[in-house]
Amino acid sequence: MNAVRTFLARTKRHPWLIVACLLCFAGAFGLYSWYQIRYVASGMQCDAPFNYYEVKHDGSVAMSRGVYHVYSHGGMTGKTSYIGKIFFADPQGQVTRTVAVNREIDWKMVMHERRIVSEITAINRRVGDHSDDALMQEFVFPSYKIGQVNNSGLFLLNGKVFSTGPENVPRVVCRE
């Protein structure tokens, strides 16, 4: 009790002391939170199966089926790869063309509250890829350009698993 009275007596003479203590506490808490997010995100690997169907006016169908793999390097940079195929079918359902896809993008990101702002720093074609950039942009990576900026939400599901996606839709589930 004497320590509290002594502290209050001193802070009446020096009000900046309370402000300094609060700033130190807020700074320490902020650094700890940042460390925790970077620690969890540094070894994160996320996988998301992806199916996209587009029915044309003439009844033909285009569909993309594959898996996104997201790898984080140090929490603030990483790679996203997509391995799959794009199928084109005529109105009777016969597959007329199949395109193998094996692409990846490199990115860097910053976090603002529970939002992730990422920028594409490189795009890469991997072994076995037979797609072109127009197909990539239409079916797999809508923002397939170096320098493109994307905004996503960050979610904690059941207090255990991170997920990311646009708006309020957690699409990619991430596990350590």
The answer, as to whether pTM is greater than 0.75, is no
pLDDT of residue 174: 67
- Across the chain, what does the average pLDDT equal? 76
CA-closest candidate to residue 65, choices 106, 107, 105, 95: 95
- Alpha-carbon distance of 108 to 149, in angstroms, equals 10
Mean pLDDT to the nearest integer, 47-76? 86
Residue 59: band (very low, low, confident or very high) from pLDDT cuts 50, 70, 90:
very high
Q: Which long-range contacts (CB under 8 A, 24 or more apart) does 60-63 make?
A: 60/88, 60/89, 60/90, 60/91, 61/87, 61/88, 61/89, 61/93, 62/86, 62/87, 62/88, 62/89, 62/139, 63/87, 63/89
Residue 167 confidence (pLDDT): 59
Q: pLDDT for 115-146, tens place per residue?
A: 888 889 999 999 999 999 888 888 888 777 88
Q: What are the boundaries of each domain within the chain?
A: 2-39, 43-175
pLDDT class for 34, splitting at 50, 70, 90?
very low
CATH fold of 43-175, please? Lipocalin (2.40.128)
